[in-house]
Structure 1
Amino acid sequence: MSTEERRTLAWHETLEIHELVAFQSNGLIKLKKMIKEVNDPDLREIYRKSILDIEGNIKELIPFYSLAPAGREEEWRSDLGFYSGDLLGLLKTSVRNYSIAITETATPSLRNVLTNHLLKAIKGHEQIFNYMYKKGYYPSYDLNALLSNDLKIANKALQMK
């Protein structure tokens, strides 16, 4: 079967789209809240352009959800879900960034500091993931619910003024 004939995305593609939409939706909500406080016209224009770009990204990715290997439906997450998801994204990005930084480090004392920071980020990620899973904010073993949550957050972010 050729790629054009496939009717669903692969699981790994679906999960990558999930990560991109979830991360960008949370970021979009923050940018839309923060732009109101940006007084510098140049910085405000950069924010405006970033908001438009991220909105475009989300809008282009959302149609791929219909190609996911399962259907979706679930109730909207509370602000606690947003706040915990934002922290999860921060800690996940911290793990990635510290891992990369360690590979670029030649100074042993700096490597030790970065390694300690990495371990704290890993532990923090574990704590917030467990919190989100327990509260039902991150149904990581239920792809249908996971993708449904993404779509609801993305739509909320796109509809914000």
Structure 2
Amino acid sequence: MPEMADMTFAMDFLIRAKEGVRNTAIALTETVTPEARAVLRKQLHQGIALHQEIAELMIRKKWFHPYELNEQYQLDQLSAMNTVQIGQMMLFPEDTSRKGMFDRTPDEA
């Protein structure tokens, strides 16, 4: 399970990095001052580098197969099945009443 958690966190990080690149690119096209454009351009390059670094890590760990669609599909299916299994787990007690869960106060003794 820790491996699956690491893969899930890495995929989420990759998606967030991609969103950051997209949002920065949009902001860059809407910015008019040269100073702000320079800052955004630098941030865009850093975001692209971060995305590449995360993707390369995931490929190296075999958590991401961008060039092997069958393998990626199998990973996605496994992830979906694990998500369903986690959703079916009894993670919380059915009785959520808090009565009786705490020590009595001095007044109740």
SS of the equivalent of 1:136 reads coil
Q: Find the counterpart in structure 2 of residue 102 from structure 1.
A: 28
* Offset of residue 103 of structure 1: 0.7
Which residue in 2 is equivalent to 1:127? 53
Q: Where does residue 93 of structure 1 map in the other structure?
A: 19
Aligned with residue 7 of structure 2, among 81, 95, 100: 81
Aligned partner of residue 160 in structure 1, secondary structure: helix
1:104-119 mapped onto 2 (5 Å cutoff): 104-119=30-45
Alignment-derived partner of residue 78 in structure 2: 152
Report the TM-score, using the length of structure 2 for normalisation: 0.70
The amino acid across from 1:87 in the alignment is F
After TM superposition, give the deviation of residue 82 of structure 1 in Å.
0.9
Once the 2 structures are TM-superposed, how far is the Cα of residue 91 of structure 1 from its aligned partner? 0.7
Structure scoring higher RCO (CA < 8 A, sep ≥ 6) equals 1
SS in 1 for 2:83: helix
How many residues are aligned here?
Answer: 85
* Separation of aligned partners in 1, 2:71 and 2:44: 30
Larger Rg: 2
Distance in 2, matches of 1:107 and 1:155, equals: 49
Where do residues 33-112 of structure 1 align in structure 2 (5 Å cutoff)? 78-112=4-38
TM-score by length of 1: 0.49
Greater helix content:
1
Q: Which amino acid aligns with 1:85?
A: M
2:25 and 2:67 mapped to 1: Cα distance? 26
Equivalents in 1 of 2:73, 2:5: separation in Å? 18
Stretches of structure 1 that go unaligned for 5 or more consecutive residues are 1-76
Once the two structures are aligned, what percentage of the paired residues are identical?
Answer: 33
**1:137 and 2:67 correspond:** no
Deviation at 1:86, TM superposition (A): 1.1
